[in-house]
Amino acid sequence: MRITVIGCGYLGAVHAACMAQLGHEVLGIDVDQAKIDALAAGQAPFYEPGLPELLAEASATGRLRFSTDMADAADYDAHFIAVGTPQKKGENAADLRFVDAAVTELARHLKPGAVVIGKSTVPVGTARRLAELVKAAQPSAELAWNPEFLREGFAVEDTLRPDRLVYGLPTGDGGIKAKQTLDEVYTVALGNGTPLVATDYETAELVKVSANAFLATKISFINAIAEVCEATGADVTQLADAIGFDTRIGRRFLNAGLGFGGGCLPKDIRAFMARAGELGADQALTFLREVDAINLRRRSRAVDLTREILDGSLAGKRVAVLGLAFKPDSDDIRDSPALDVAGQLQMQGAEVIATDPKAIPNARRQYPELTFMESTPAAIAGADAVVLLTEWKEYRALDPAATGELVRGKAILDGRNVLDPAAWRAAGWRYRALGRP
Ligand code: UDX
């Protein structure tokens, strides 16, 4: 198929490359010239495992091209909207400026029979409103909403082999036509038996935000239990293992620690609450306020614990921060708990030396006052305390004895519960973690 992907960020760039890999002819469009130049040169503008290889392969086939000009979309059949829906400044609601601008501009160039497919995470009701906009510009065009569930760090895998497909479709013949187009786009995944839920716009929009709200709730649930563990001397990691054996509960997304961040979960639960309020259903989602609060409390707890392992004062202490990205295998620092904690430590008087395998350039832009070191040993050298905030593989594999040779004080905070407390304590470290004795 001939398809465009409008918005080439974490979601769109991966989607464009994967669609080309699957055999479609793809045009990626973005307003950011630098991003488009990088992608056109086969370079990924952010870190995502597997994406550089995929871009190289797809570009070599000639099936993947990029442009900053929406007019170039005119002779394509299907158009994916993959622009961002960030949180509005000073409000919980989602900022739909980019989605609205993309669809409005695209609508001017749609050819008869084209299908616009929304992928961005939007408040329920958006698709129906945008469908009217599309119809007004091109009556024979259709709009579908096809939410995306990819995880950063696994984005290529999740796009090529999604665990489900959801289509939000208009009623009548328009819906049949839009579904045919989507089925053709996803021939490979459907052929592999990927489950498909074909439904209306509102359900499709709500599937996405509900999934993220559930995941956020699961993480905050275990982090709330971690607070109780801290008050009693219990161990939340063993507790999570034990409850996770119940298949109704499941062990995944029960890792207690610094909590969730990133460009999706935090802003999506806030936008969901805001939208429910507009719909008069705010009571239904007040629990998400608590989910958010538990999550943010973990960050201050990490700062307090760092102060504790430094004998009650951060002032003038050198703290090595391991990890800045919101999760491993990503350079994304949007709402990153790690970066937030690093900033708070510095603000409260510590001298922060921070490192991360991929996120330093992004982190430096946001917190230029922190000191950054590329190498882990250099960041750790002479530290009074080491705090592990993003569980990159190389930090999980740190050797307590060798690390002990580098530091000034053997104090460590395991903000992600990934180290072996016994091994660190045996090597003479003062070890603290969230939700563990
Ligand atoms: C999430 C959803 O998983 C994905 O389906 C959706 O499309 C976008 O949002 P992503 O933001 O890439 O994906 O990250 P995810 O792997 O879900 O992790 C989110 C945050 O939760 C990270 O900060 C992670 O460190 C944290 N987390 C995750 C925990 O604290 N504990 C866990 O057990 C799991």
Please report the pLDDT score of residue 195 as a whole number. Answer: 98
The residue-averaged pLDDT of 378-392 equals 98
Distance 260 CA to ligand 1 centre (A): 6
Strands (E) across 330-429 are located at 351-355, 371-372, 385-388, 411-414
Ordered domains of the chain (ranges, CATH)? 2-199 (3.40.50.720), 200-437 (3.40.50.720)
Does the Cβ of 260 fall within 6 Å of ligand 1?
yes
Please report the pLDDT score of residue 171 as a whole number. Answer: 97
Please report the pLDDT score of residue 300 as a whole number. Answer: 98
Strands (E) across 178-261 are located at 196-199
Q: How confident is the model at residue 117 (pLDDT cuts 50, 70, 90)?
A: very high
Please report the pLDDT score of residue 349 as a whole number. Answer: 97
Please report the pLDDT score of residue 387 as a whole number. Answer: 98
Residue pointed to by tokens 């590329």: 374
| Orientation angle between helical segments 286-309 and 265-278, nearest 10 degrees | 150
Does the Cβ of 251 fall within 6 Å of ligand 1?
no
The residue-averaged pLDDT of 333-359 equals 98
Q: Convert the pLDDT of each residue in 170-205 to its tens digit.
A: 999 999 999 999 999 999 999 999 999 999 999 999
Rounded to the nearest integer, the mean pLDDT of the chain is 97
| Orientation angle between helical segments 236-244 and 201-232, nearest 10 degrees | 130
% of the chain exceeding 70 in pLDDT:
100
Tell which residue, 146, 123, 145, 147, has the closest CA to residue 273. 123
- The residue whose CB lies within 8 Å of the most ligand 1 atoms, and thus the one to mutate among 15, 165, 251, 265, is 265
The residue-averaged pLDDT of 264-275 equals 98
Q: How confident is the model at residue 21 (pLDDT cuts 50, 70, 90)?
A: very high
Per-residue burial over 40-66, b = 16 or more CB atoms within 10 Å of its CB, e = otherwise: bebebbbbbebbeebbeebbeeebbbb
pTM above 0.95, yes or no: yes
Distance 258 CA to ligand 1 centre (A): 12
- The residue whose CB lies within 8 Å of the most ligand 1 atoms, and thus the one to mutate among 264, 331, 333, is 264
CA distances from 257 to 10, 59, 145, 361 (A): 25, 40, 34, 25
Does the Cβ of 265 fall within 6 Å of ligand 1?
yes
Q: Convert the pLDDT of each residue in 55-76 to its tens digit.
A: 999 989 999 999 999 999 999 9
Please report the pLDDT score of residue 294 as a whole number. Answer: 98
Strand partners, 66: 28
Q: How confident is the model at residue 286 (pLDDT cuts 50, 70, 90)?
A: very high
Does the Cβ of 151 fall within 6 Å of ligand 1?
yes
Question: How does DSSP classify residue 94?
Answer: B
Yes or no: say if 258 and 220 are a contact pair by the CB < 8 Å rule.
no
Does the Cβ of 259 fall within 6 Å of ligand 1?
yes
In single-letter form, the type of residue at position 217 comes to: T
Ligand 1, closest atom to CA 216? 21
And the tokens for 167? 């289509």
